[in-house]
Amino acid sequence: MPVPKKRKTKSQQGKRRAHIKVEEKELTECSQCGAAVRPHTVCSNCGYYRGEQVVKQEPAEGEAEPAEEEEEQKEGLSWEGLSRS
């Protein structure tokens, strides 16, 4: 098995590792809500990307929208009562 003939000096070791470092994440501001977001990424706060809503955000607990619940009941779309057995 090959083994180096001579030990690398500390300066050579440091020069080799010069590019190995932790870089600060680049953040931009969401155009819709103003939250800090990584570039080219959907905002996790509001669900918008480039001015369009791509991900529908669910309302927080206690803020259920009654109109949507009524529509689901009318259409009969419910996960309750469905089972694989």
Q: Where are the domains of the chain?
A: 25-57
Specify the pTM: 0.44
Q: Which pLDDT score, from 0 to 100, does residue 68 have? A: 56
Segment 41-57 shows an average pLDDT of: 86
Average pLDDT over residues 19-28: 91
32-65: string of b/e by CB count within 10 Å (b at 16+)? Answer: beeeebeeeebbeebbbbeeeeeeeeeeeeeeee
Give CA separation, 1 vs 4, 7, in Å. 10, 16
Q: Collapse the DSSP code of 51 into the 3-class scheme (helix H, G, I; strand E, B; otherwise coil) and give the result.
A: coil
* Residue carrying the six token digits 């990307």: 49
- Sign of the dihedral defined by the CA atoms of residues 63, 66, 72, 76, in that order: positive
Q: What is the mean pLDDT of residues 29-54?
A: 88
The predicted structure's pLDDT at residue 57: 77
